[in-house]
Amino acid sequence: MIVFEKVSYQYPRGPSAIRDVTLEIKKGEFVGVIGHSGAGKTTMAKLAVGLLKPTKGRVLVEGMDTAKTPVSELARKVGYVYQNPDMMLFASSILEEVSFALRNLGYPESEIEERVLRALRAVDLNKPLSASPHALSFGEKHRLAIACVLAVEPDYIILDEPTTGLDYYRCLLLFEVLRKLHQAGRTVIVITHDLDLLARFSTRVIVLERSTVIGDGKPREVLGDVEFLSEHGFVPTHLLQLARRTGSEDLTPEGVARTVAARLRRQASA
Amino acid sequence: MGNAAVTVRNLWAKYVGSGDWVLRGVNLEVREGEMLFLMGPSGCGKSTLLKVLAGLLPWVIPGTVEGEVLVAGVDVLRYGYKGLAGKVGVVYQNPEVQVVTRSVFEELAMAPENLGLPKEEVRARVESVAKALGLEDYLFKDPQSLSGGEKQLVAIASVLAMRPRVLLLDEPTSMLDHLGTRLVLDLITQLKREYGLTIVAAEHRVEWAVEVADRVAVMSDGAVVLEGSPSEVFSRVEEVQKYGVRPPGVSEVAYNLVRMGFPIRIPVRLSEMEEVLGGG
């Protein structure tokens, strides 16, 4: 479990980026975090990984206080994928890139290779291990960055706007990868602006606005509430609006279609 | 809608170092006052096509271009971006690369100044574009103090101060959050409706496309593979998906209904879905 206890964070000489946030993320959840620029999403993610320490309150990862635990210890539990993969990638080969963290954490060579291959398979990256990360396309770099985090096999994986710069097909591929990780027992936390993808894949949605949590619940409670979304400056997609209009609890196209089908059958028999 | 503002015939293009052709025989026509959306997955060639239309490839970005391209009456492959000055404006994905000066006023004045217009005319243009876009209160602000969406508005305004006949947009909202996206989309919609500007946009926001685009061209592997009104293109859900384009949510729902055996027409807009639902 990741626990935020009355957490505030203030950047030096800056306004507070997170204010008095209390929440729990349980193992096995697939959490979507939405919010406008500057709402505090990235700050919250960095607090959960221990890259930032709260200025007030406590963050606990599996019971460990992030302020008192070395980042290397936390890294075994929580992985963080930066918004821009170029921020993470530096090595001259894919093998070196993915094994870097494992070497730092002191894994034996025999185990390293096994983990690297497993991580690359999970993100569906079929490139030679000797290839340069910098020669990859943006989407491939992103998947490599995820593989680097997966290789450590953390229980929690946090992704900061992983869909930026990806087209529709690659977004779906990426979320399919995340779904597999989730089904394999990992906890996935994704920051994104894409409401339809969250409606389709997540089990919980957290809404941040001006440094605090203003919404938290199942996708159908949060994303299904199109008035709430509009009020707070989000643009509810047509799918979400249609789900609301028809009273569909399932927010996927297939689910909304089933609701509409039932309605059309009722109309036909009336 | 009258004459062609953009004509592209049998266009082939590649970059130095790209090896293979990136555009492979593109044909396209955009009439004056029309808004055309280019859609397709990364690497389909839509950004490259915009670079050719803007006279950048092969004039600024090295490469090879063959075929025929007329934009606002200019033979682009002969005269390049210089021939298009004052006639064509381009807005890119990332406003950070486009906004360079220390005040919004300077930003808006830059293009008309570069066109060599007299000072009074420059000032008049800045004031009129600021007024039209509701940016009057921003004129003496530092662009770097603005949000992403506001910066993109400034980038668009600075292009409009040139009074271009054709506006080229390369995914102008892909780096913005919901608030910024809404600001920019509202503005572009207004430009089209009130000023009748010819707009060619590479864009992936399909739900916006169905509301404002006159025509949509889906590209794949360097060629236009589907073209027509938003209804004509997006009602072909399976094909659109095959080419890596997200279909509108309502079309996807309707497509599922068709597969369940309901004999309905596939709508592309939320408002058209009411017909399917039959009231209540």
Q: What is the DSSP letter of A92?
A: S
**B167 to each of B84, B157, B170, how far by Cα in Å?**
11, 11, 10
pLDDT band (50, 70, 90) for residue A26: very high
Whole-angstrom distance, CA of residue A35 vs CA of residue A40: 8
pLDDT band (50, 70, 90) for residue A142: confident
Q: Are residues A266 and A133 in the same domain?
A: no
Q: What is the DSSP letter of B137?
A: G
Closest by CA position to B67, among listed B4, B126, B145, B8 = B8
pLDDT band (50, 70, 90) for residue B93: confident
For residue range A254-270, what is the model confidence (pLDDT) as tens digits? Answer: 999 999 999 999 988 88
| A68: its two tokens | 């008192």
Question: By the CB < 8 Å criterion, does B145 face chain A?
Answer: no
- Structure-model confidence comparison of residues B71 and B205, the more confident one: B71
Question: By the CB < 8 Å criterion, does B253 face chain A?
Answer: yes
pLDDT band (50, 70, 90) for residue A168: confident
Q: Are residues A231 and A242 in the same domain?
A: no
Beta bridge partners of A13: none
CB–CB contact B257 A254 (8 Å): no
Please determine, for residue B1, whether its predicted confidence score (pLDDT) is greater than 70: no
For residue range B132-189, what is the model confidence (pLDDT) as tens digits? Answer: 888 888 899 998 888 888 888 899 889 988 889 999 999 888 878 888 888 888 888 8
Residues in chain B within 8 Å Cβ distance of A263: 277, 280
The pLDDT score that the predictor gives to residue B63 is 94
Give the global pTM.
0.88
Domain ranges, residue A110:
2-235
Question: What is the rounded average pLDDT of the residues A50-62?
Answer: 96
Q: Are residues A66 and A174 in the same domain?
A: yes
Q: Are residues A41 and A113 in the same domain?
A: yes
**A46 to each of A75, A161, B208, how far by Cα in Å?**
12, 13, 34
Amino acid occupying residue B46:
K
Question: What is the rounded average pLDDT of the residues A151-178?
Answer: 88
For residue A7, give the CATH number of its domain. Answer: 3.40.50.300
For residue range B182-235, what is the model confidence (pLDDT) as tens digits? Answer: 888 888 888 888 888 999 999 888 998 998 999 999 999 999 999 999 999 999
Question: By the CB < 8 Å criterion, does A266 face chain B?
Answer: no
Q: Are residues A142 and A243 in the same domain?
A: no
Which string of b and e fits A25-62 if b means at least 16 CB within 10 Å?
Answer: beeebbbbbbbbbbbbbbbbbbbbbbbbebeebebbbe
Question: What is the rounded average pLDDT of the residues B10-26?
Answer: 92
CB–CB contact B260 A237 (8 Å): no
Q: How far is A109 from chain B (nearest CA, A)?
A: 37
Structure-derived torsion over alpha carbons of residues B156, B162, B165, B171, reported in degrees to the nearest 10: -20
Q: Are residues A104 and A200 in the same domain?
A: yes
Which residues fall within 8 angstroms of residue A27, CB to CB, at 6 or more apart? A1, A155, A156, A185, A187
The domain segmentation of chain B, as residue ranges, is 1-87+165-178+192-231, 96-163
Question: By the CB < 8 Å criterion, does B148 face chain A?
Answer: yes
Q: Write the residue in A169, A196, A238 that is nearest to B250 by C-beta.
A: A238
Identify whether the C-beta of residue B77 lies closer than 8 Å to the C-beta of residue B67: yes
CATH topology of domain B1-87+165-178+192-231: Rossmann fold (3.40.50)
CB–CB contact B147 A37 (8 Å): yes
Please determine, for residue B280, whether its predicted confidence score (pLDDT) is greater than 60: no
CB–CB contact A242 B253 (8 Å): yes
CB–CB contact A242 B257 (8 Å): no
DSSP-assigned letters across all residues of B233-258: HHT-HHHHHHTT-PPPHHHHHHHHHH
Percentage of residues in chain B with pLDDT exceeding 90?
Answer: 64
The lowest-confidence range among A120-134, A182-196, B68-82 is: A120-134
For residue range B34-55, what is the model confidence (pLDDT) as tens digits? Answer: 999 999 988 899 999 999 999 9
The pLDDT score that the predictor gives to residue B279 is 64
Identify whether the C-beta of residue B181 lies closer than 8 Å to the C-beta of residue B204: no
Question: By the CB < 8 Å criterion, does B94 face chain A?
Answer: no
Q: Are residues A214 and A244 in the same domain?
A: no
Mutation target to probe the A interface, by most A beta carbons within 10 A, among B207, B253, B256 is: B253
Structure-derived torsion over alpha carbons of residues A133, A137, A139, A142, reported in degrees to the nearest 10: 20
Question: By the CB < 8 Å criterion, does B25 face chain A?
Answer: no
Residues in chain B within 8 Å Cβ distance of A167: 41-42, 204, 244
Amino acid occupying residue A265:
R
Please classify residue B40 by burial: count the beta carbons closer than 10 Å to its beta carbon, then call 0-12 exposed, 13-18 middle and 19+ buried: buried
Q: Are residues A173 and A255 in the same domain?
A: no
Q: Are residues A167 and A256 in the same domain?
A: no
Mutation target to probe the B interface, by most B beta carbons within 10 A, among A138, A167, A197 is: A167
Identify whether the C-beta of residue B161 lies closer than 8 Å to the C-beta of residue B107: no
Identify whether the C-beta of residue A53 lies closer than 8 Å to the C-beta of residue A86: no
**A163 to each of A120, A175, A199, A208, B177, how far by Cα in Å?**
19, 9, 15, 19, 12
CB–CB contact B278 A167 (8 Å): no
For residue range A110-127, what is the model confidence (pLDDT) as tens digits? Answer: 899 999 999 998 888 888
The pLDDT score that the predictor gives to residue B2 is 67
Please determine, for residue A74, whether its predicted confidence score (pLDDT) is greater than 60: yes
Percentage of residues in chain A with pLDDT exceeding 90?
Answer: 73
Nearest-10 crossing angle of helices B270-277, A238-246? 30
| Total number of domains constituting chain A | 2
Whole-angstrom distance, CA of residue B122 vs CA of residue B113: 6
Whole-angstrom distance, CA of residue A264 vs CA of residue A270: 10
Closest by CA position to B57, among listed B157, B170, B152 = B170
Question: What is the rounded average pLDDT of the residues A187-195?
Answer: 95
Q: Are residues A150 and A254 in the same domain?
A: no
Please determine, for residue A41, whether its predicted confidence score (pLDDT) is greater than 60: yes
Distance of CA A206 to the CA centre of its chain: 11
Residue spans of alpha helices (H) in chain B: 46-53, 76-84, 104-114, 119-132, 148-160, 178-195, 206-212, 230-234, 237-242, 249-259, 270-277
Q: Write the residue in A169, A240, A261 that is nearest to B257 by C-beta.
A: A261
The pLDDT score that the predictor gives to residue A61 is 97
Question: By the CB < 8 Å criterion, does B249 face chain A?
Answer: yes
Q: Are residues A147 and A269 in the same domain?
A: no
Q: Are residues A242 and A225 in the same domain?
A: no
The pLDDT score that the predictor gives to residue B186 is 87
